[in-house]
Chains A and B, each alone.
Chain A
Amino acid sequence: MDHKGVFEALIEQLMQLPGVGRKTAERFAFFILKMPSESAKKIATAIIDTKEKLFFCRVCNNMTEEETCRICQSSARDHQKILVVEEANTLAAIEKSGEYKGLYHVLHGTCSPLTDHEGGNAAVKGLIERVRNESNPILEVILATSPNIDGEATALYITRLIKPFGVKVTRIACGVPAGSDIEYADEVTLVKSLEGRREVYS
């Protein structure tokens, strides 16, 4: 393979990344070409390590370097609550808030008629197994799927499957985002926020 072949191969590989077209891939490739060898090797090693050393937790499907993730292993967490999220990056955002101390379950997708039940279906089976497991009784399943039609459909689907086990199923609140002005909220968001209103204590 000549120099042009090597460079072209790099561009083609970079174009596999989401949102990266030919122009952006070329820009990245030229940047890599100009960067020190050490830095380029670090990028390559990080990619290889991610593929070889990172797995999905066998319990919650979170990213981990061991069989089970640090959240599932932690005795400081509330093992009677499971918070269901669509993707691992949602889990990271919730962890960043520091408010939630229970366990998670990552679906890696949604179970919606719009997506032909693809993606999250296998993970939902894992969630049901966790709820059915009598050695570690679950008291509450919190559904933190996105407040769009895919997320709502997924929440309805999971609720339908879990309710027969007598477990409390809750949905995260939906309404006006903090720091915004109510006058700019659309009617659906306003209705949702009114439905989910709570009593104010002095």
Chain B
Amino acid sequence: MSHLSTEALVLSTLRLGEADKLITFFTLTRGKIAGVAKGARRFKNRFGAALEPFTQCHLVAFEKTQNKLVRINQVDILHSFQKLRDDWDTIELGTQMARLVLRMTPEEQPHPAIYHLLQEALAFLETGLDRSLSFILFMVKLIEECGFQPQWTICSGGTGHGGGTTFSHREGGILCDRCATRDAASVGISADALQFLQTVSAADFRSGHSQSPSILVKREVETLLRDYITYMIGSKKRGRW
């Protein structure tokens, strides 16, 4: 039995047995791990609110060699992100961010960049400046970190032409007019949306917030990214994870 002590973000909680909880964390040093918190649903439990989704905490757990699930021993809150839970819209966006990390990352593979991205995105949601923009930027950066970075500048059909009017989920990028016929399922993309995606792809998550796209562009980009992620992770529910 080995000892695990790391910073973590709570991605999801599930009721287990009579009074326990099954928690999935995204940890700084071990990536995505799941563990059992014994008695976490009892009224007077030692974990308190530390195991609520979105909580940034310091996790102490024990690992068994035969079991993938760790035994959660102690959890101390570093930042609760409590303000996120006071509003339905932020709960929904925060849940989608956590679910994306849950679905797009493999188990036990450390990825500090994704940890910091999720932490920063939850902080931006909490301040509530432009939440829909924060969510779009989170999707753009998470796709990049997970290795599914689409080609936004030149045709992904292999011609090397710049610009494009359609986006192909299969080819993973924009297609020029000549290549657009190669994928019947490719979808149209406006020049404004493409310009926005090119700009934010080159910027980091924080500086991406200096952009102020129109509502129409945000809607178009969000739908496009949701569909692309749905395609990449093989989800049956369009735009839901």
Contact = CB atoms under 8 A, between A and B. Distances in A.
Interface residues on A, range: 20 to 34
16 contacts: A113-B92, A113-B96, A114-B12, A149-B54, A153-B88, A153-B91, A156-B86, A156-B87, A156-B91, A157-B88, A180-B44, A186-B47, A186-B49, A188-B52, A188-B80, A189-B48
Which 7 interchain pairs have the tightest Cβ spacing?
A186-B48, A188-B49, A113-B92, A113-B95, A156-B88, A19-B17, A188-B80
Interface string B52-91: 1110000000000000000000000100101001111001
A149 B52 contact: yes
B43 A177 contact: yes
A96 interface: no
A143 to B, nearest CB: 13
Given A19-B17, A114-B53, 20 more contacts: A19-B18, A112-B91, A113-B88, A113-B91, A113-B96, A148-B49, A149-B85, A152-B85, A152-B91, A153-B91, A156-B86, A156-B87, A157-B88, A180-B44, A185-B48, A186-B47, A186-B48, A186-B77, A188-B77, A188-B80
Contacts of A186: 47-50, 77
Main secondary structure on chain B at its contact with chain A?
loop
A18 B17 contact: yes
Interface residues on B, range: 20 to 34
Contacts of B50: 186, 188
A185 to B, nearest CB: 7
Contacts of B44: 177, 179-180
Nearest to A114: B95
